[in-house]
Amino acid sequence: MRRITRIATAGIASAALALSVTACGSDSSSGSSSSDENGGKAAIAYDIGGRGDQSFNDAAYAGLEKAEKELDVQGTEAEPSEGEGDPDKVQRLTSLARADNNPVIGVGFAYAPAVAEVAPKFKDTTFGIVDDTSKTGPNIANLVFNEEQGSYLAGVAAAKVTKTNTVGFIGGVETPLIKKFEAGFVQGVKDTKAGVNVKVQYLTQPPDFGGFSKPDLGKAAAQGQLDAGADVIYAAAGLAGAGAIEATAKAGKWAIGVDSDQYNQKGLAAYKERILTSVTKNVSGAVFNLIKSVQDGKPQTGEIRYGLEDDGVALAKSNPAFTSMTDVIAAVDKAKADIIAGTIKVKTAP
């Protein structure tokens, strides 16, 4: 098994310095030949918040880690820098491709412009983009999910367990992607119990993407919704969502996690009893599948979509307190079946 290499870059001007001073050093990210003896090399470039967000980026890392263990791949991780722009991402992806990583995966829609610029220059390298279909090409794989479907199930659960008839949704940044989470959640709530009030708040607006990386913003937003009577809060906000979970759990109310099964995240262990469930996205599976397809000589390209029917999105059932709510589970399972059957059409925008 190979050790995953982790690099950090802080923009074009300081890229060379950053690569030279990180613990991994430049040799491990510049194509040393030892990695080609068995499974080759693969790289992921993280979205805002980086690894350790207990959510989206950590799910991507799990896929890379699995590939390292099962496919004998040498994995490289690249961290974002705060406030960076597209040129920084272009430099990062270029460095990873030049180091013979294949595939190179941008974790998050923010990498789309950079992938579109870099991919044509490395025609023999497969590039993945998670959560974006706007940029395509013969060596680009668009790994996307039906987030609105999983969020609908979260809305069903929230409507069934609320005692105050007030629930909350917190979005990290008001983008079309996060509005899919909102749309599904609100529809699930209203379809289940029309009289429930859904409070919606976004932490930042583009081009400020800090709403995905600042736990204090999530904590403050959750506290505001709790003060307004919410007793179930669903946050789709990356690292900021951890702050929302903390505030909700400390108030003794129900939190709903996102992307990873946050009940099982070590960094959130202190609050797990109040994490009712999580809307999971199989980002780890998508990352692993893309890496495996390259290793098998049949690289995935084009839109690769994951939904409820293949457990690409799901509602986690790790918390025994949740699974003991038999009427809630029954309602969730019925809604899942109806969505898969096409009886329920879930909106992708509010």
Q: CB of 184 within 8 A of CB of 346?
A: yes
Query: What whole-number distance in Å separates Cα of residue 59 and Cα of residue 65?
Result: 10
Q: Which two tokens stand for residue 223?
A: 């506290």
295 membership: H or E segment, kind and range: helix 283-295
| pTM score, whole prediction | 0.86
The angle subtended at Cα 314 by Cα 313 and Cα 319, nearest 5°, is 145
Q: What is the pLDDT of residues 134-164, one digit of tens each?
A: 999 999 999 999 999 999 999 999 999 999 9
Query: What whole-number distance in Å separates Cα of residue 63 and Cα of residue 289?
Result: 8
| DSSP class of 346 | P
Query: What whole-number distance in Å separates Cα of residue 329 and Cα of residue 332?
Result: 5
**Across the chain, which distance is largest between two alpha carbons, in Å?**
63
Of residues 55, 89, 26, the one with CA closest to residue 262: 55
Of residues 265, 267, 273, 266, the one with CA closest to residue 248: 273
Query: What whole-number distance in Å separates Cα of residue 57 and Cα of residue 254?
Result: 23
Q: Which residues are within 8 A (CB) of 156 and not within 5 positions of it... i.e. 6 or more apart?
A: 188, 189, 191, 192, 328, 331, 332, 335
- Percent of the chain whose pLDDT exceeds 90: 83
Query: What whole-number distance in Å separates Cα of residue 4 and Cα of residue 1?
Result: 9
Query: What whole-number distance in Å separates Cα of residue 304 and Cα of residue 286?
Result: 8
Q: What are phi and psi of 74, to 5 degrees?
A: -90, 120
**Domains of the chain (ranges, CATH numbers):** 41-145 (3.40.50.2300), 147-280+319-341 (3.40.50.2300)
10: pLDDT strictly greater than 90: no
Q: What type of residue is 38?
A: N
Q: What is the pLDDT of residues 177-225, one digit of tens each?
A: 999 999 999 999 999 999 999 999 999 999 999 999 999 999 999 999 9
Mean pLDDT of the chain: 90
Q: What is the pLDDT of residues 252-285, one digit of tens each?
A: 999 999 999 999 999 999 999 999 999 999 999 9
Query: What whole-number distance in Å separates Cα of residue 245 and Cα of residue 277?
Result: 11
The angle subtended at Cα 51 by Cα 158 and Cα 119, nearest 5°, is 105
Coil, helix or strand for 103? coil
For the chain, report the end-to-end CA distance as a whole number of angstroms.
46
